[in-house]
Structure 1
């Protein structure tokens, strides 16, 4: 069982909210714990944004509940209609993430016999705010997220899995069960990496004044993601088209060897970004372009010899050349990044 930072911080936020309610004699404290659970977010900006959104929608929920109690009623049908109204208002304001906690606020206020007491309503609302505030404080102070480190670690892990699959895709060395299992893991990890990049880019855009981030490095990270996405596309194309093309041993070697070259180039770029490779002025990029052009021309020749059966190979070859292009682009961006840093 893995306890990630978010799980750890959720536990602390719940504990903190319960203790605050105990010292302030706010009951029932369970609503503060629920509020803390819903408010913990994967980034500082999202926690702050969530705090503001929660305050707005929960204030609206409390106001609607108060109005209903004094002028309409609090029977189950009315409560259900209020739920629908609160959901509609939250969606209208594009604050969908606040809906669960706002509904809890409405229920906390309306589902108790003493709900006509204004002090009771304020008490319930304050309890919710304690939970929201506890979550924000914990996210700011406890294990603050290191987006750059997390992103690079995740990128490296995704590449390791992708390189294994690409190196064995044509040779068909892995068992079918293992290949599909690793493939599904790769797809899931790339989706997580896409979400992590969005958070990283979001923090840069919204909190740049508080925590400056090198925009050039963000561009490098984006290109790292694109190369992995393109590698995933190659795997999908191989699985869908390659073995239906009736390839010969020579064709297997052609595709296998070129994919191997690109994987080595990808590994080289990771080392280059980490500063483990000497920065040299070479024609490496030009050589890669020539190799990719030669590979595609050879695939085109194979297609011309048997257009009906070999058409699928062109689809795979196109995605492989696209992968090569993204690797070349990544190398350019890494070179530019280090060139600016030195200047």
Structure 2
């Protein structure tokens, strides 16, 4: 938001300084051109300059051959959309090409060559202003923001798992939190995509970032699996109260192993655990899920409530969660071995 406003102000200032006929077009071009990442901004500027040139050429050709009657303008817009769409340009570029056609084919008392040059220059100024602002001012720190959001989302999920497994959760509050966490996870996937698109220009940096991408992808996957476990417990909230307390204790005990291990891995990645305290990473205890499944089947075979088989998907979710934690532990061990004393900061959320 701030970058868009700043780029618009710069474009309007430059347009006024050079006395363009329509500095407002520069501001419109900024709105179409601003991008969430530097890499996307670089991709966008090339494509949008091409789209702007195509729109200008169509408009100039239409004005000199057919005039600028409203139906001629409509025809030129159709041609511009067709060409830019066939070139697989994105929607904003297509829209900017249409704006160029409309802007140049507007009626004017000025000499058409001067009028067209002024307006097309305004649009180029807007495109360049958006790129420069995105490059120089407040470049997005997706790595820091992504890990901060992963940490927040995981912390929320693990806290709710602890509360839910002990039958202490408030139903309306948990239902709201599940919806909120779902939105947060979608944000994680989107931000990871933006982070993965960012380019590095030094070979060593590129290799290091590749390692981080693998770690971040696994962090997100593990967070999703913990969320699946939370949703499974939420669906079985009232059923859990009907099983023997001894079995409830076994579920809580096994799940606490996974939750504690997940928290330790995050703390290790942040550098909060001493490197000499090796047991912190080795103590990802294996939950005895086969024993839980055997007990469920035994209770079913001896005439208990058949609905207890609905706990089998929960056991499967626990096994998958544990598998992803083990994979995360191996990745972190490899990452920390090759990147000693390098930790991820979370100063920006």
- TM-score bracket, normalised by the shorter chain, equals 0.7 to 0.9
Q: Which residue of 2 aligns with 1:197?
A: 192
Preserved CA contact (<8 Å) 1:242 1:313? no
TM-score normalised by L of structure 1: 0.86
Secondary structure of the structure 1 residue equivalent to 2:289:
helix
**Matched residues, number:** 332
Given candidates 148, 152, 176, the residue that maps to 2:147 is: 152
Instruction: Return the alpha-carbon distance in structure 1 between the equivalents of residues 131 and 271 of structure 2.
Output: 36
SS at match of 2:285: helix
Instruction: Summarize deviations over 1:89-139 as a string: whole Å, max 9, x none.
Output: 333333214233222222212233459812212211110110111111111
Question: Counterparts of 2:167 and 2:102 in 1: how far apart (Å)?
Answer: 57
Deviation for aligned residue 1:342: 4.3
The unaligned stretches of length 5 or more in structure 2 are 342-349
Contact 2:257 2:285 in 1 (8 A): no
Could you say what secondary structure the match of 2:20 adopts? coil
Q: Which whole-Å CA distance do the structure 1 matches of 2:247 and 2:74 have between them? A: 65
Q: Is the 8 A contact 2:258 2:284 kept in 1?
A: no
Quick one: which of 321, 327, 346 aligns to 1:323? Answer: 321
Superimposed CA distance per residue, residues 185-236 of structure 1 (whole angstroms, 9 cap, x where no aligned partner): 1111111111111111111xx4344892412222111111111121222233
Query: Could you tell me which residue of structure 1 aligns to residue 261 of structure 2?
Result: 265
In structure 1, C-alpha distance between the alignment counterparts of 2:97 and 2:315, rounded to whole Å: 52
Counterpart pick for 2:136 among 141, 149, 159: 141
Contact 1:74 1:110 in 2 (8 A): yes
Give 5+ residue unaligned stretches, structure 1: 1-6
Of the three residues 5, 8, 13, the one matched with 1:11 is 5
Q: Which of 40, 48, 53 is the matching residue for 1:54?
A: 48
Once the two structures are overlaid, the 10-residue window that deviates more, 143-152 or 78-87, is 78-87
Deviation for aligned residue 1:29: 1.2
Does structure 1 conserve the Cα–Cα contact (< 8 Å) formed by 2:55 and 2:80? Answer: yes
1:182 deviation in Å?
1.4
Q: What TM-score do you get using the length of structure 2 for normalisation? A: 0.85
Structure 1 residues 246 and 11: CA distance shift in structure 2, 3 A? same
Query: Match for 2:69 among 58, 75, 81?
Result: 75
1:253 to 2:249 alignment: yes
Measured against aligned partners, the alpha-carbon deviations of 1:24-54 in whole angstroms (never above 9, x if no partner) come to: 1112211111111221211111111111111
Q: Measured at CA, do residues 174 and 75 of structure 1 come closer, stay the same or move farther in structure 2, by a change above 3 Å?
A: farther
* 3-state SS of 2:88 partner: coil
- Partner of residue 346, structure 2: none
Tell me the distance in 2 between the aligned counterparts of 1:274 and 1:52.
38
Specify whether residues 52 and 210 from structure 1 end up closer, same or farther in structure 2 by C-alpha distance, changes over 3 A only: farther
Measured in 2, the distance between the counterparts of 1:210 and 1:11 equals 35
Root-mean-square deviation over aligned CA pairs: 2.7
**1:278 Cα deviation (Å)?**
2.4
Q: 1 CA distance for matches of 2:12 and 2:140?
A: 24
Contact kept? 2:29, 2:127, Cα under 8 Å = yes
In the TM superposition, residue 172 of structure 1 has moved relative to its aligned partner by 4.5
Larger Rg: 2
Change (3 A) 1:340 1:64: same
270-279 vs 237-246, greater mean Cα deviation: 237-246
Map 1:18-37 → 2, pairs under 5 A = 18-37=12-31
How far apart in 2 are the matches of 1:258 and 1:76?
A: 72
